[in-house]
Structure 1
Amino acid sequence: MSASPSSVDSILPAIGLRLLSVALFACMNTGIKLAEQGGAALGEILFFRQLGASVLVSAVVLTGPGLGSLRSQRMGAHVSRATVGLISMAFTFAALLALPLAEATTIGFSMPIFATVLGAVLLGEPTGWRRWAAVLAGFIGVLIVTQPGMGGRFPLWGGLCGLTAAFLTAVVSILLRQLGQTERPLTTVFWFSTLSLVPLGLVYAATARAHPAHVWLILGGLGLFGGAAQLAMTGSLARGAVSVVVPMDYTALIWATGFGWLVFGTLPGNTTWIGAPVIVASGLYIVWREHVRRREETRQAAAQGIA
């Protein structure tokens, strides 16, 4: 059966927005490394990332659904999401500063692996042997890339930061799934960006320093790129199924490799070329199996409703 025109009209913008979000995040990641090379501390980078995102999202809210859309009866859940999300972001940025762009991006692809494990353990989601095999293959891919204990070019600290970030991002995905039952995506993005500014403001006050003009421009751009990327990502999920848009995330490796070569003069190591396809294949298979599972659950629910 061919897809209907309305379905295609919805899917193509969803894919386009997801690809745009990946490109914007890649620009942000490149800016993070450039800002650090220019003398900015991690705390400053985090503060400007969230400040810019908060301003951008606030503008979208004011010109769109209005301030009333930000009301929530679940502020505790938003605080939990902001806390875990901010810690995850800190480890993600630390990995970006410690590793080449391609390697940091590749380690981040292990997030679906952790999400599968957490979904099975915490939420009791059915996970068959196929997905467990994909999880095992993904971890093997991570070992190939990082080569723990082999004394290779891969910094242990950077690898640990990347894996910690991927694990915490998987926790965030579960929190977002629960928040999504009652909250609008734009509301969740707003509270994450805004609530993060409270602790980050204190961190910034302790780490702020003078910078050349170009570093200030980079710091200002981080929030705009990151906020725009988040909005594009949110829009993609509003228009297309997860199984359709999430595979687009793996184009990040193309951007990371390109920016790493053009801006920093680095290319992925041999083990990254071997391990990255294993991790990507594992993630894609997990996404596909999740799509199959949800489709089967929907079909069974519809059959029971008819019965």
Structure 2
Amino acid sequence: MFAIALRLTAVICLSVMFVMVRLASQRGVHVVESLFYRQALALPIVLVWVAMAGGLHSVRTRRIGVHASRMMLGLTGMLLNFLSYILLPPAEAATIGFTMPIFGTILSALILREATGIHRWSAVLIGFAGVLVMIRPDAGHFPLQGVAVAIAAAFATACVSLVLRELGRTEAAGVVVFWFTALSMIPLGIAMPFFAQAHDALTWGLLLLIGLFGGIAQLCLTAALRWAPVSVVLPMDYSAIIWTTLLGVAIGENWPMATTWIGATLIIASGLYIAWREHVRARQPAVSSAARHPG
């Protein structure tokens, strides 16, 4: 229950962060600025967490190259996610983001050569059908550029998940979070002189909230996995459709159309089924081992 509460807190914080990004953009903030302050303001939170958890010496690593690759992929995914919430209403951006497990299944089959049966391929097709139902390309409800960016964001996030799976074999979660946050300041710091602007007090407040809620979300996501497996906490991620819808309405966005809810239902069902199949597949070797060694 503690892990579920942490994951739910993380999802709420992420929903707030993304809506703040949309509001900041409407006030003239460039997406690069939002990325910079998201990481810069989260870095002190991450440093305090690392210091309390294992000390700063615990972030030493021999895999700095892999961390750098994860940083570039993660930064690309974050940029695309921010842009998706700028270009699309929050509920629709969140819904398309739920396709990440679908892309994860495809990448695992193509790159990792994992066995993927008819069950998961069927879930993939259902998920993509949900996307088509939601966006209805013939109706022109949403800008296709925004839809393309949101799909690209989900794909990039799926790529990050594969790298994190590899890093997780040797690196603690705190090490991964620290190096992602710290290394990302290099390219963002180089880019900022070209995009930095003066802002009023309200806009600075939005940027502060982006960094604060983003940092808290990152820590809660990581901490949740210390108390429960992914299969237990993953369903909380889909509550984002509730929070982003409510926050969107609060800032003046229209209530999502019926097709959005139908598409979201199909996509969420697809993601949950994929997660369940992953859980069953992970248990099978353990059960087989126990049968061979009953003592």
- Matched with 2:29 is 40
- The answer as to whether partners of 2:67 and 2:179 remain within 8 angstroms in 1 is yes
TM value normalised by structure 2:
0.97
Report how far residue 146 of structure 1 moved.
1.9
- Matched with 2:241 is 253
Q: 1:94-149 CA distances to partner (integer Å, 9 max, x unpaired)?
A: 0000000000000000000000011111111121101100000001111111223x
RMSD over aligned CA atoms reads 1.2
Distance in 2, matches of 1:248 and 1:304, equals: 36
Match of 1:64 among 40, 53, 56: 53
Distance in 2, matches of 1:134 and 1:64, equals: 39
- Matched with 2:43 is 54
Q: 1:204-228 CA distances to partner (integer Å, 9 max, x unpaired)?
A: 1100111001111111221111011
Report how far residue 265 of structure 1 moved.
3.1
What aligned pairs does 1:202-221 form with structure 2 within 5 A after superposition?
Answer: 202-221=190-209
- Matched with 1:141 is 130
- Matched with 2:254 is 266
What aligned pairs does 1:157-306 form with structure 2 within 5 A after superposition?
Answer: 157-305=145-293
Moved more, 267-276 or 225-234: 267-276
Unaligned runs of 5+ in 2: none
Q: 1:187-206 CA distances to partner (integer Å, 9 max, x unpaired)?
A: 10111111111111122110
- Identity over aligned residues, as a percent? 48
- Matched with 1:108 is 97
Distance in 2, matches of 1:259 and 1:158, equals: 19
1:74 counterpart = 2:69: no
- Matched with 1:20 is 9
Distance in 1, matches of 2:192 and 2:258, equals: 38
**AA partner of residue 212 (structure 2):** L
- Matched with 1:7 is none
Distance in 2, matches of 1:86 and 1:301, equals: 40
**AA partner of residue 181 (structure 1):** R
**AA partner of residue 252 (structure 1):** A
Q: 1:151-195 CA distances to partner (integer Å, 9 max, x unpaired)?
A: 421111110110001001001111101100100101101111111
